[in-house]
C-alpha cells in the first residue's frame, strides 16, 4: 500500500474547514501566527467560533435545563464516576492556569518575534484531570455539574466541553419526560452537527450500569430519539453499533480482525508491550477494560483540540475494515483500528475495543433494539419527515397506564413483525425515518435473497398432550429430520441463495443444492422462497445419515466435485412464489403450491414425510411418530392445516397475534385518542383472542407448530464426571472458571480422560464457590498437567486437583477427533465426547473412584447408536441444526 | 530545484533507519536553511523532528521551498543500496514527482542512480521553540541505549528521576525491579563520556521503554544524547549531528502511583 507508485493525495482526516481540522495529527501549533490571547483560547475551547465566555454561558443554560428536568430525580449516574471527572482539584486548576498563562506568554513572544513561527506548547496531556478526580471521587458529593469558572477553561482542552456535557447526559430518564430537542444545541455544537461516538458511549455506560430492562430500554429509546431529532443520518450507524454488527448476517459482513490486530494496535497506542497487555487482559478478562486501562495509562501529545469521533465515522471505519480483503488488508485494518483507538478517549476506548472484538456486553439484544426503535419512533420523528406526527410524550403521559402499554406493545409488534420478514436494519431504519411506524410494513417486505426469520415450533413433551391441544382441527404431522434447516431463495434469473436458520448465507456450502434447483422448478415458477431440512443421505441406498455426518461437510469454498457427503432437501414450506407473499395463506394452501409447482428428484429433493390427521387418528399418529424415530429423525412437527375452525371445536389453541394492519390502526387511533384511555382500551380488547391460524409467522414460536420429541427427562442417562481443569471465563464470567474441563475415569490405566468442556448449568453462586475452592495458585490447583490426566491438545489456564464428582446431562455422545476418552473402545482413532453437556448437581456422596468410567461412556454410546436416534434437546434449548456446538 | 550532496550517505541512512519504525510516511521539507522533517507516530505518543542544515551538504542548493513526501520504507530500500562512504546527491524539481538519488563511490568509480516516487502528504510544518526544561541530562548515547535495553527486559516503562544528586532510571516488572543511577561525572580525556546534569527543579516522569528503545536506534548518529525533562511536558531526546539534530519528543505515561 505505501509503496503504491501513483502520486496521490494522502488523505488526512480533515473535514474541510480549518476550524474543524484534523484531530491529533499535530501537537504543535499551526504555521499562521496567532495574534492574540483570545485566539488561543477560542482555538482551544471550541471550534464553532464561540468564545469561551459564550460557550460557558451556553453550558450554563444547558445545565440549568437539566437541573430543571431533574429536580425531582436523584442523579443515578453520578456514581458511575464519569460525572466526577468534571471536578478538578483546585491544585490542578492553579497549575493549569499557570500553564495556560505561560502558553500565552510564549505565544506573544513568538508572535512578535519572528512573525511566522508560532509558539508551541505541550498541552497537559489527556487524563491528567482524570487522575486528579479519581482520587477525589470519594469526597466529591455527587451533584449537578458545577458550571466551570471562566478561568478553568484552558486546563481542560484535552477534554472538550461537549465531552463533559455528554458525561452528564441523562439518557436513562423516563422517555416521557425526556425531550430530545433539548440536545439540539449540543449536537449542533459538535463538528458537522454529527452525533459523536461519545454520545453513544454515554448511552452504553448508562445501559451497562443497570440491570433493569426498563432502564435499558428507556436509555436506548432516549438515545435513539436524540438521533432521530438531531441527526437522523447517524441513526442507522448507531443502531448497527449498538447491535454490534456491521450488516445483516446474510451479507456476511464480518470485521475479520483477530485479537492480534487489536492487541497490536493497543500495544502501539497504549505504549505497552505484549506482556503488559496480557497482564491487563488477564486481570480484566475483557478487551474493552484492558484497552481502557492501557490507553489511559499512556498520555498522548496533542496541541490542537481533538475532534470527537462521530458515530458515522466509527461505523464507516468498521465497514472499511470489513471490506478490506486480500494481501495487505491486515495492515490496512490495523491502521484503521489504530486511528480509531487514537481518536477515542475515556469510555469510548472501552466500548470501541469491545465493538472491535464483537462483544459489546451491554445486554441490549435484538429485542431491546426493536422495542427501543418502536418507542423512539412512536414519540419522535425526524424534522423533515412526511409521516404522520408521532405521539408526543405529553400525549402519551396523559394516557392511563394500560393504554400506554398497549400503544407501546402495538408499536413494538409492528417493528418486530417487519423485522421478522426483513431482518435487516438497513431496510428497517431508513423505512422508519421516511414513512414512520405506520408505513413500515409496506417498505419491509419479503424479498428474495433476504432471508426472513424462520417460524419456530413450540415444544410438547408427548403425543397425547399434543393431540389434546389440537381439538378437532385438522393437522399434519411431519418428520422432523436431523439435519440443517434451510431457506432457499431463487429469483427469476435462477440465482439461488441458501440461508441457515440463523440467516447466515450458506449458499457456498451447498453447491450441489444450488445446482439442483433448475431441475426442481416447475415450468410456472419464476421466483420462490422455500424452506426445508437438508439431511445427509447415502446416495446409493437413500438411507438418512446423522447430523454429525452433515456437519462434517466443508463449510466454505465447497465445489460440487469435492462433495463427499450427499444431501437431500426435504422441503416443507413455501413462503413466496412468483413474487407473491404466501405468509398469510393457510399451511394447506402453501403446501399445495409447494407440491404442485415443484418436482421431486430422487434422493436429492423431496417433501418431508407427512401424515394428515385429526386428534381422532391417535393410533395412526403414534405409529407415524414411532416410524420417525426409527428413521433417525428427532421426532415430528405437528402443524395446523387450516385457518378455519370446524364447528364445535373444543381446542384450546388461541393467540393474540394480530395482523399488521390492525396494529397500525391501533397506533394511529391511540395517537388521536388524546388521552381518552378507556376508549383506547376497548379498541384493543375487542375480541382479539381468536383461534390460532395456520399462517407462517416469522420469528414466532406459536402453538400452530408443535414439536414432538421423545421424552427427555425420564429416560436420559447421566454421567458422573470429575472436573479436572478450567479456563478463565470471558465477559460476565471473567472472574470465574468457565468452561470447566470434565473427565471420566479409566480404571484400567488409572488415568482420567477428558471428555468435554462444560459451561452451562452452573449458578453464579456455584461459580463463585468453585473459584474459591479452585483458587488460582491455591492448594487445589496446579499450573501443569498431572501425568495421569489424558487431555491431548487442551491447554486450560489451570488444572484442578481431581477430588469431586459432578453429575451432568448431555444431548448425545459423539465420536470426537479431539478427545481421547474411551478411545479404542468404540473406535480406534477417535474418542468420545458429549454434545451440550450441562451440570446437574454435585455428587458429594461419590468419591472420584466412583465416577463413571470410559467403559460406561462407551456403553452409553453403543446404546445410543442402537436406539436409532440420540435423544436431543437439552432443557428445551433450540439447538438442533446448529453447528456451533 | 533542490540539489544537495552529502559527503557520506550514511548520515541520511542512519537518520532514516532510526525513525522509520516510528513514522511511515512523511515530508522532507527543503528550504535554503537545509532539510527538515517532522512527524508524529501513529499513536500520537511520540514526535520526531529532524534538521539537516545546509552546511552539512556540499554543495547545497534549494531555490524554493519543496516538500518531498516520502515513504520511509521505500527510501530505506534505496539507501541500503548505497555504501556508507558513498557520496550521495539528492535532486528534485521544484514541483517534484520523484526524488533522484545518486551514489558515487570514490573508491571504484561506481555510480548508481535511483528515483523514488513521491506522494502528497497533507502536513503542516511547525516551528518548535526552545523550551526551558527543569532538567537537562547529557550522557553518552551508548550508555543511554544500554540503560533502555537493560530495563526494557524487565518492564515496559521506566521512571526517570532527576535530582541534584543525579539521575535515576528505575523500573519494576513481573520478574522484579531494577534501576540505574548516574551521577554527574566529567571524563577529562573524552568529553563525550561525561554525564552532565543541569537542574532547576527535581523531576520524576515515567515513559514507555518501547519508545525509548526505538529512539536509541539513533545512537550511532552522535556519541552523546541529551535528555530534557519537565513536568507536564514531553521528554525531549536529542541527538546532535555535525550540521543538525535528530530530536524525539515523548509523552509521559501516567505513573503507577495510583
- Summarised one tens digit per residue, pLDDT across range B120-171 is 887 665 666 677 889 999 999 999 999 999 999 998 889 999 998 899 999 9
Q: What angle do CA B99, B102, B106 make, to 5 degrees?
A: 165
Q: Is the pTM of this model over 0.80?
A: no
Contact B218, B224 (CB under 8 A): no
Check residue A661 and give its pLDDT: 64
How far is the C-alpha of A107 from the C-alpha of A124, rounded, in Å? Answer: 16
Q: Around Cβ A800, how many Cβ atoms within 10 Å? A: 24
Torsion-angle region of A705 (φ positive above 0: left; ψ -120 to 50: alpha; else: beta): beta
Q: Which residues of chain B lie closer than 8 angstroms to A276, CB-CB?
A: 156
How far is the C-alpha of A672 from the C-alpha of A572, rounded, in Å? Answer: 44
* H or E element in which residue B218 lies: none
B6 CB contacts (<8 Å, ≥6 apart)?
B12, B56, B57, B87, B88, B89, B90
A680: closest CA among A668, A670, A688?
Answer: A670
List the single range of A843-847, B12-16, B102-106, B122-126 with lowest mean pLDDT. B122-126
Q: Pick out chain A residues at pLDDT < 50.
A: 1-53, 67-157, 651, 656-657, 673-689, 712-715, 869-885
Q: What percent of chain B is predicted at pLDDT more than 90?
A: 64
The string of DSSP letters for A559-622 reads -GGG--S-EEEEEEEEEEETTEE-TTS-HHHHHHHHHHHB--BTTTEEEPPEEEE-GGGHHHHH
Check residue A304 and give its pLDDT: 56
Check residue A63 and give its pLDDT: 55
Q: Which residue of A has its CA nearest to B155?
A: A276
The set of cell numbers assigned to A480 is: 422432523
Contact A708, A466 (CB under 8 A): yes
Q: Which B residues, 146 through 165, put their C-beta within 8 Å of a C-beta on chain A?
A: 156-157
A670: closest CA among A442, A380, A415, A409?
Answer: A409
Q: How far is A107 from chain B (nearest CA, A)?
A: 10
Whether A8 sits inside 8 A of B119 (CB atoms) is yes
Confidence of residue B100 (pLDDT cuts 50, 70, 90): very high
Check residue A154 and give its pLDDT: 21
How far is the C-alpha of A885 from the C-alpha of B18, rounded, in Å? Answer: 50
Cα torsion angle, B42, B44, B46, B48, sign = positive
A223: closest CA among A188, A173, A189?
Answer: A173
Burial class (CB in 10 A: 0-12, 13-18, 19+), B258: exposed
- ipTM for this prediction: 0.76
Q: What is the pLDDT of residues A394-425, one digit of tens each?
A: 777 777 788 888 888 888 888 888 888 888 88
What mean pLDDT is reported for chain A?
72
Check residue A828 and give its pLDDT: 81
How far is the C-alpha of A9 from the C-alpha of B120, rounded, in Å? Answer: 5
Q: Which residues of chain A lie closer than 8 angstroms to B42, CB-CB?
A: 268-269, 335, 338-339, 342
How far is the C-alpha of A583 from the C-alpha of A589, rounded, in Å? Answer: 10
Contact A223, A200 (CB under 8 A): yes
What is the phi/psi pair of residue B113, to 5°? -135, 135
Q: Is A480 known to be catalytic?
A: yes
The set of cell numbers assigned to A520 is: 426442481
Which residue from A95, A124, A302 is facing B44, i.e. has the nearest CB? A302
Check residue A4 and give its pLDDT: 45
B28: closest CA among B73, B84, B67?
Answer: B67
* Residue A655 bridge partners (DSSP): A690
The set of cell numbers assigned to A596 is: 404442485
Q: Which residues of chain A lie closer than 8 angstroms to B71, CB-CB?
A: 2-3
Instruction: Tell me which residue has cell 420417525.
Output: A628
Test the B interface: residue of A13, A28, A135 with most B CBs within 10 Å: A28
Whether B118 sits inside 8 A of A7 (CB atoms) is yes
Q: How far is A341 from chain B (nearest CA, A)?
A: 8
Length of chain B: 258
Whether B129 sits inside 8 A of A268 (CB atoms) is no
Q: Which residues of chain A lie closer than 8 angstroms to B258, CB-CB?
A: 131, 134-135
Burial class (CB in 10 A: 0-12, 13-18, 19+), A156: buried
Which residue from A31, A279, A335 is facing B126, i.e. has the nearest CB? A31
Q: Which B residues, 93 through 112, put their C-beta within 8 Å of a C-beta on chain A?
A: 97
Contact B217, B204 (CB under 8 A): no
Q: What angle do CA A54, A58, A61 make, to 5 degrees?
A: 140
Burial class (CB in 10 A: 0-12, 13-18, 19+), A477: buried
Burial A209-245 (b: 16+ CB within 10 A, else e): bbeeeebbbbbbbbbbbbbbbbbbebbbbbbbbbbbb
User: Which residue out of A264, A480, A509, A771 is catalytically annotated?
Assistant: A480
Check residue A215 and give its pLDDT: 86
Amino acid at each position: 500500500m505505501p509503496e503504491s507508485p501513483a502520486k496521490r493525495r494522502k488523505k488526512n482526516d480533515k473535514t474541510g474547514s480549518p476550524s474543524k481540522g484534523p484531530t491529533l495529527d499535530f501537537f504543535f501549533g499551526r504555521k499562521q501566527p496567532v495574534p492574540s490571547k483570545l485566539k488561543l483560547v477560542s482555538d482551544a475551547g471550541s471550534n464553532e467560533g464561540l468564545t469561551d465566555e459564550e460557550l460557558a454561558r451556553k453550558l450554563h443554560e444547558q445545565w440549568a435545563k437539566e437541573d430543571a428536568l431533574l429536580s425531582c430525580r436523584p442523579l443515578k449516574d453520578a456514581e458511575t464516576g464519569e460525572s466526577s471527572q468534571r471536578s478538578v482539584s483546585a491544585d490542578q486548576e492553579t497549575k493549569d492556569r499557570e500553564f495556560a498563562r505561560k502558553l500565552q506568554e510564549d505565544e506573544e513572544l513568538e508572535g512578535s518575534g519572528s512573525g511566522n513561527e508560532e509558539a508551541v506548547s505541550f498541552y497537559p496531556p489527556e487524563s491528567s484531570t482524570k487522575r486528579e478526580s479519581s482520587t477525589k471521587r470519594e469526597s466529591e458529593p455527587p451533584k449537578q455539574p458545577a458550571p466551570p469558572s471562566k478561568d478553568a477553561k484552558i486546563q481542560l482542552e484535552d477534554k472538550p466541553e461537549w465531552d463533559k456535557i455528554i458525561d452528564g447526559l441523562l439518557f436513562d430518564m423516563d422517555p416521557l419526560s425526556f425531550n430530545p430537542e433539548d440536545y439540539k444545541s449540543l449536537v449542533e455544537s459538535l463538528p458537522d452537527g454529527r452525533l459523536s461516538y461519545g454520545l453513544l458511549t454515554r448511552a452504553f455506560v448508562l445501559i451497562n450500569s443497570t440491570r433493569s430492562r426498563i432502564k435499558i430500554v428507556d436509555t436506548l429509546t432516549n438515545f435513539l430519539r436524540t438521533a432521530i431529532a438531531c441527526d437522523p443520518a447517524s441513526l442507522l450507524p448507531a443502531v448497527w453499533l449498538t447491535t454490534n454488527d456491521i450488516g445483516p448476517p446474510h451479507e456476511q459482513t464480518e470485521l475479520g480482525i483477530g485479537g492480534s490486530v487489536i492487541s497490536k494496535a493497543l500495544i502501539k497506542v497504549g505504549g505497552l508491550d505484549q506482556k503488559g497487555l496480557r497482564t491487563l487482559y488477564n486481570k480484566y478478562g475483557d478487551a474493552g477494560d484492558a484497552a481502557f486501562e492501557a490507553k489511559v495509562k499512556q498520555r498522548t501529545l496533542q496541541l490542537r483540540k481533538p475532534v470527537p469521533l462521530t458515530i458515522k465515522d466509527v461505523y464507516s471505519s468498521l465497514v472499511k475494515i470489513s471490506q478490506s480483503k486480500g494481501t495487505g488488508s491486515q495492515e490496512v485494518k490495523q491502521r484503521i483500528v489504530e486511528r480509531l483507538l487514537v481518536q477515542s478517549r475515556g469510555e469510548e476506548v472501552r466500548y470501541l475495543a469491545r465493538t472491535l472484538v464483537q462483544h459489546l456486553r451491554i445486554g441490549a439484544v435484538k429485542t431491546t433494539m426493536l422495542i427501543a426503535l418502536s418507542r423512539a419512533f412512536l414519540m419522535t420523528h425526524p424534522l423533515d419527515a412526511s409521516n404522520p406526527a408521532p405521539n408526543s410524550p405529553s400525549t402519551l403521559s396523559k394516557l392511563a397506564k394500560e393504554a400506554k402499554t398497549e400503544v407501546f406493545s402495538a408499536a413494538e409488534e409492528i417493528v418486530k413483525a417487519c423485522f421478522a420478514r426483513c431482518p435487516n436494519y438497513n431496510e428497517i431504519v431508513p423505512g422508519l425515518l421516511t414513512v414512520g411506524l405506520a408505513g413500515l410494513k409496506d417498505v419491509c417486505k419479503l424479498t428474495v435473497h433476504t432471508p426472513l426469520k424462520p417460524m419456530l415450533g413450540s415444544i410438547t413433551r408427548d403425543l397425547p398432550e399434543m393431540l389434546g391441544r389440537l381439538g378437532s382441527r385438522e393437522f399434519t404431522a411431519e418428520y422432523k429430520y436431523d439435519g440443517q434447516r434451510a431457506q432457499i431463495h431463487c429469483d427469476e434469473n435462477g440465482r439461488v441463495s441458501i440461508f441457515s436458520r440463523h440467516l447466515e448465507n450458506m449458499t457456498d456450502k451447498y453447491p450441489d443444492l444450488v445446482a439442483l434447483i433448475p431441475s426442481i422448478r416447475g415450468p410456472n415458477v419464476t421466483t420462490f422462497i422455500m424452506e426445508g431440512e437438508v439431511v445427509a443421505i447415502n446416495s446409493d441406498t437413500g438411507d438418512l445419515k446423522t447430523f454429525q455426518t452433515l456437519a462434517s461437510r466443508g463449510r466454505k469454498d465447497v465445489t460440487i466435485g469435492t462433495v463427499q457427503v450427499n444431501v437431500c432437501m426435504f422441503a416443507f414450506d413455501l413462503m413466496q412464489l412468483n413474487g407473491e407473499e404466501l405468509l398469510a395463506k393457510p399451511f394447506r394452501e402453501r403446501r399445495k403450491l409447494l407440491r404442485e409447482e415443484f418436482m421431486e428428484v430422487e434422493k436429492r429433493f423431496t417433501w418431508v414425510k407427512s401424515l394428515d390427521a385429526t386428534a381422532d387418528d391417535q393410533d395412526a399418529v403414534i405409529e407415524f411418530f414411532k416410524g420417525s424415530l426409527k428413521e433417525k429423525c428427532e421426532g415430528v412437527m405437528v402443524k395446523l392445516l387450516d385457518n378455519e375452525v370446524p364447528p364445535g371445536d373444543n381446542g384450546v389453541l388461541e393467540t393474540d397475534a394480530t395482523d399488521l394492519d390492525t396494529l397500525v390502526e391501533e397506533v394511529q387511533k391511540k395517537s388521536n385518542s388524546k388521552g381518552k384511555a378507556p376508549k383506547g382500551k376497548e379498541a384493543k380488547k375487542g375480541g382479539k383472542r381468536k383461534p390460532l391460524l395456520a399462517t407462517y409467522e416469522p420469528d414466532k414460536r406459536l402453538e400452530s407448530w408443535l414439536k414432538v420429541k421423545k421424552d427427555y427427562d425420564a429416560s436420559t442417562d447421566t454421567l458422573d464426571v470429575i472436573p479436572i481443569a478450567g479456563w478463565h471465563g470471558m465477559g460476565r464470567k471473567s472472574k470465574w472458571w468457565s468452561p470447566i474441563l470434565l473427565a471420566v475415569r479409566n480404571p484400567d490405566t488409572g488415568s482420567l480422560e477428558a471428555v468435554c468442556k462444560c459451561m452451562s448449568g452452573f449458578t453464579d453462586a456455584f461459580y463463585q464457590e468453585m473459584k474459591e475452592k479452585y483458587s488460582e495458585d491455591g492448594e487445589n490447583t496446579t499450573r501443569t498437567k498431572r501425568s495421569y490426566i489424558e487431555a491431548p491438545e487442551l491447554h486450560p489456564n489451570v488444572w484442578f486437583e481431581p477430588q469431586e464428582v459432578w453429575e451432568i446431562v448431555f444431548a448425545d455422545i459423539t465420536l470426537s477427533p479431539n478427545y481421547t476418552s474411551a478411545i479404542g473402545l468404540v473406535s480406534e482413532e477417535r474418542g468420545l465426547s458429549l454434545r451440550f453437556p450441562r451440570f446437574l448437581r454435585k455428587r458429594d456422596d461419590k468419591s472420584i473412584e466412583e465416577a463413571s468410567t470410559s467403559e460406561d461412556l462407551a456403553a452409553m454410546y453403543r446404546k445410543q447408536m442402537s436406539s436409532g436416534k440420540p435423544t436431543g434437546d437439552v432443557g428445551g434449548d433450540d439447538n438442533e441444526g446448529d453447528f456451533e456446538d | 530545484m533542490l540539489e544537495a550532496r552529502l559527503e557520506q550517505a550514511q548520515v541520511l541512512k542512519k537518520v532514516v533507519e532510526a525513525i522509520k519504525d516510528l513514522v511511515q510516511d512523511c515530508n522532507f521539507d527543503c528550504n535554503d536553511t537545509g532539510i527538515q522533517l517532522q512527524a508524529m507516530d501513529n499513536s500520537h505518543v511520540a514526535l520526531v523532528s529532524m534538521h539537516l542544515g545546509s552546511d552539512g551538504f556540499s554543495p547545497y542548493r534549494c531555490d524554493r521551498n519543496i516538500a518531498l513526501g516520502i515513504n520511509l520504507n521505500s527510501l530505506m530500500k534505496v539507501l541500503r543500496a548505497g555504501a556508507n562512504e558513498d557520496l550521495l546527491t539528492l535532486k528534485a524539481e521544484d514541483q517534484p514527482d520523484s526524488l533522484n538519488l545518486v551514489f558515487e563511490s570514490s573508491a571504484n568509480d561506481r555510480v548508481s542512480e535511483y528515483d523514488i516516487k513521491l506522494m502528497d502528504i497533507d502536513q503542516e510544518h511547525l516551528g518548535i521553540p526552545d523550551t526551558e526544561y527543569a532538567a537537562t541530562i547529557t550522557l553518552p548515547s551508548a550508555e543511554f541505549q544500554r540503560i533502555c535495553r537493560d530495563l526494557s527486559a524487565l518492564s515496559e516503562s521506566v521512571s526517570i528521576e532527576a535530582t541534584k544528586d543525579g539521575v535515576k532510571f528505575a523500573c519494576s516488572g513481573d520478574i522484579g525491579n531494577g534501576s540505574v543511577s548516574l551521577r554527574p561525572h566529567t571524563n577529562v580525556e573524552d568529553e563525550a563520556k561525561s554525564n552532565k546534569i543541569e537542574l532547576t527543579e527535581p523531576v520524576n516522569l515515567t515513559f514507555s521503554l518501547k519508545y525509548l528503545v526505538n529512539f536509541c536506534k539513533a545512537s550511532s548518529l552522535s556519541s552523546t544524547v541529551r535528555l530534557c525533562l519537565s513536568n507536564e511536558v514531553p521528554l525531549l531526546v536529542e541527538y546532535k549531528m555535525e550540521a543538525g539534530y535528530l530530536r524525539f519528543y515523548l509523552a509521559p505515561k501516567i505513573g503507577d502511583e495510583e
